[in-house]
Amino acid sequence: MIVTVIGVGLIGGSLALSLKQQGLASRVIGVDQSPAHLQQARALGLIDEAQPDLPAAVAGADLIVVAVPMDAMLTVLPRVLDLVTERQVVIDVGSTKAALLAAVAGHPRRGRFVAVHPMAGTEYSGPAAAAAELFAGRTLVICDAQGSDADALQRVETLFRQLPMRLVYLGGAEHDVHTAYVSHISHITSFALALTVLEKEREEQRIFDLASGGFASTVRLAKSSPAMWVPIFRQNRLNVLDVLDEHLHQLQRMRELLAQEDYAAFEELIRQANHIRRIIQ
């Protein structure tokens, strides 16, 4: 199978590597608006060929992966669908789905498109951040699967099961609600934590001296790229605002109990938070 990856960054590059290492892709063609990234992806072995011409890159592929930031996705995906035939399959790997699915809802080639979201990533970006083992054992969400042709859906399912990934099916709007709760809010809290510490702790050496694994863990996502995350927050704005308001409420509750020295109720909140142990190992 020949795979074209549009956007050879963390996710596109990692998928290219995974497919090659599992023997699922015989050849990977890379497309990227950054010539430097394309060159780097080639040097790192993520892709076998850099093809600056989008129609040519699409024409030669069995599977086309669109892995660009969410704002660019809204224009690149319809352009790719304009180019594909009934024998090709297109996937995105984006973090929000409702706007994207709406953008291609009436497209004559909608059936060739399967909307997927691999629940994996790191705080780094670009081709150098790509890793073959990023997806193994993780969840792949497939959205609005009923909008895809049966053969296209089945090819995508078979492919990702071999990485291996666990498949979960959600509606596009439902996906955006749940990912706001479970993924997007974590990035907001981590960015805000970094801003807080950088504001309060003006001596950077002290942060370095005192940072334990716990602090590093909570602030890790604050290294994430704005080029990737601003479009996600923009497209999932209402869901993110909703969960952010709940988060502000929970923090205010903890603050008030601490201010009033109501340690019994404060401890009860921590015990409730501990319930996350049941879910996250």
Q: How far is the CB of 73 from a second copy (least distance, A)?
A: 16
Residue 43 or 198: the one with the smaller Cβ distance to a second copy is: 198
Total Cβ atoms within 10 A of residue 271: 9
Dist. CA 214–CA 5, nearest whole Å: 36
CA 153 to chain centre: 20
Q: Which of 119, 131, 153, 173 binds a second copy (CB under 8 A)?
A: 119
Dist. CA 43–CA 127, nearest whole Å: 10
Q: Which of 54, 122, 126, 173 binds a second copy (CB under 8 A)?
A: 122
Q: What part of residues 148-177 is at the interface with a second copy (CB under 8 A)?
A: 166, 168
- Candidates 26-34, 35-43, 153-161, 272-280 — which segment interacts with a second copy by CB under 8 A? 272-280
Q: How far is the CB of 134 from a second copy (least distance, A)?
A: 9
Q: How far is the CB of 164 from a second copy (least distance, A)?
A: 15
User: Strand, helix or coil at 51?
Assistant: coil
Q: What part of residues 220-259 is at the interface with a second copy (CB under 8 A)?
A: 220-226, 229-230, 233-234, 237, 240-248, 250-252, 254-255, 258-259
Q: Is residue 266 near a second copy by the rule CB under 8 A? A: yes
> Following DSSP, what letter does each residue of 123-185 receive, concatenated?
S--SGGG--TTSSTT-EEEEESGGGS-HHHHHHHHHHHHTTT-EEEEE-HHHHHHHHIIIIIH
- With contact defined as beta carbons under 8 Å apart, do 38 and 100 qualify? no
Q: What part of residues 185-204 is at the interface with a second copy (CB under 8 A)?
A: 185-201, 204
